[in-house]
């Protein structure tokens, strides 16, 4: 029973897993830590933006927020 669509890459990985053709990665703990760190650094990024608003729009936004 299939509840979701797999991409071609995901289908290929699934077939490899089911066939038992995957080889364990050397230094898997180190690789895992590096991947987790990369994901964390990607997700932790904050961006500052600057926008220009008229006084009227700003006062309306402040009124809505209050």
Say whether pLDDT at 2 is over 70.
no
Q: What is the tens place of the pLDDT at every residue in 6-46?
A: 899 999 988 998 998 888 778 888 889 999 999 888 887 78
- What's 8-66 look like in SS3? HHHHHHHHHHHHCCCCCCCCHHHHHHHHHHHHHHHHCCCCCCCCCCCHHHHHHHHHHHC
- Map tokens 């933006």 to a residue: 49
Domain ranges of the chain: 7-44
Residue 48 pLDDT more than 60? Answer: yes
pLDDT at 1 over 60: no
Own/partner contacts of 43-47, CB < 8 Å, gap of 24 or more, are none
pLDDT of residue 56 exceeding 90: yes
The residue ranking higher by pLDDT, 26 or 52, is 52
């Amino acid at each position: 029973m299939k509840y979701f669509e797999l991409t071609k890459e995901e289908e290929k990985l699934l077939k490899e897993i089911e066939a038992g053709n995957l080889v364990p990665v050397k230094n898997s703990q180190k690789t895992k830590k590096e991947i987790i760190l990369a994901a964390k650094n990607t997700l932790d990024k904050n961006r500052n933006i600057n926008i220009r608003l008229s006084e009227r729009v700003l006062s309306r936004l402040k009124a809505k927020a209050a």
